[in-house]
């Protein structure tokens, strides 16, 4: 039976790509991913690039190709199971009624949250993980913010927007916050600051935010 691999590629640098992800790409006839992801796999056979506007279409195409007997590997930033492509692909398989036809194999990757925790020397079994990626900021973060554990979060739009959301909901402006930007890349940056300062600063979208 042909396979649909979903491979985590890690936070971005080739140093964090696992041999298991490389083997999945080598086994697949077609590899689907963003340009940034595909660039990490020169060993890929045929490639199908995707961009933010056609993710759904390309993921559906990938599922159809597997159903037609071709093995496919879909690349997912970080880990596929944390704000990654595992969820949309499972939804597509279910909507197409192909649960019994598609042989899925998930290759975990090193999540940006894991690398953030490592950089900031946080044991992430003692932290709360949250994501607002692909959705709006939500008040559910308020339920855990004062439980004594750091919250490691993927912001919705930007770190400034998330900081402002927390300020608007009464969180102390001097609350300690850390931002890890472009993890694993040569221009990686991590800064510790306050909520108020983060609300006024300008980071790229590629950030993990920690609220202490």
Q: Which stretches of the chain bind ligand SAM, using CB under 6 A? A: 11-12, 76-79, 82-84, 111-113, 133, 154, 180, 182-184, 205-208
Q: Is 81 helix (H, G, I), strand (E, B) or coil?
A: coil
Minimum distance between the CB of residue 66 and ligand SAM, rounded to whole angstroms?
21
DSSP readout, 82-117? TTSSHHHHHHHHHHTT-TTT-EEEEE----HHHHHH
**Residue 10 to residue 114: CA distance in whole angstroms:** 10
Minimum distance between the CB of residue 115 and ligand SAM, rounded to whole angstroms?
7
Residue 135 half-sphere exposure, CB side, CA atoms within 13 Å?
Answer: 10
Q: Is 129 helix (H, G, I), strand (E, B) or coil?
A: strand
- Look at the block and give the residue holding tokens 């694993």: 184
Minimum distance between the CB of residue 3 and ligand SAM, rounded to whole angstroms?
21
Minimum distance between the CB of residue 177 and ligand SAM, rounded to whole angstroms?
14
**Residue 166 to residue 199: CA distance in whole angstroms:** 9
Q: Is 27 helix (H, G, I), strand (E, B) or coil?
A: helix
Q: CA end-to-end span of the chain, whole Å?
A: 48
Phi first, then psi, for residue 62 (nearest 5°) are -60, -45
2 versus 201: smaller Cβ distance to ligand SAM = 201
- Cβ-closest residue to ligand SAM? 78
Minimum distance between the CB of residue 131 and ligand SAM, rounded to whole angstroms?
7
Minimum distance between the CB of residue 134 and ligand SAM, rounded to whole angstroms?
7
């Amino acid at each position: 039976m042909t396979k649909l691999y979903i491979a985590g590629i890690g936070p971005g640098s080739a140093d964090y790509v696992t041999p298991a992800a490389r083997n999945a790409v080598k086994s697949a006839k077609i590899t689907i991913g963003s340009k940034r992801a595909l660039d990490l796999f020169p060993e890929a056979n045929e490639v199908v690039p995707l961009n933010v506007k056609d993710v759904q279409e390309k993921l559906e195409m990938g599922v159809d190709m597997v159903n037609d007997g071709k093995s496919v590997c879909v690349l997912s930033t970080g880990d596929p199971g944390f704000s990654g492509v595992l969820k949309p692909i499972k939804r597509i398989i279910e909507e197409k009624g192909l649960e019994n036809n598609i042989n899925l194999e998930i290759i975990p990757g090193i999540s940006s949250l894991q690398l953030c925790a490592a950089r900031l020397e946080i044991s992430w079994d003692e932290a709360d993980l949250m994501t607002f990626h692909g959705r709006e900021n939500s008040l559910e973060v308020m339920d855990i913010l004062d439980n004594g554990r750091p919250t490691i979060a993927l912001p919705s739009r930007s770190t400034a927007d998330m900081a402002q959301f927390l300020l608007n909901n009464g969180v102390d402006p001097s609350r300690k916050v850390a931002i890890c930007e472009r993890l694993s890349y040569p221009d990686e940056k991590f800064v510790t600051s306050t909520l108020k300062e983060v609300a006024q600063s300008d980071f790229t979208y590629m950030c993990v935010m920690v609220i202490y």
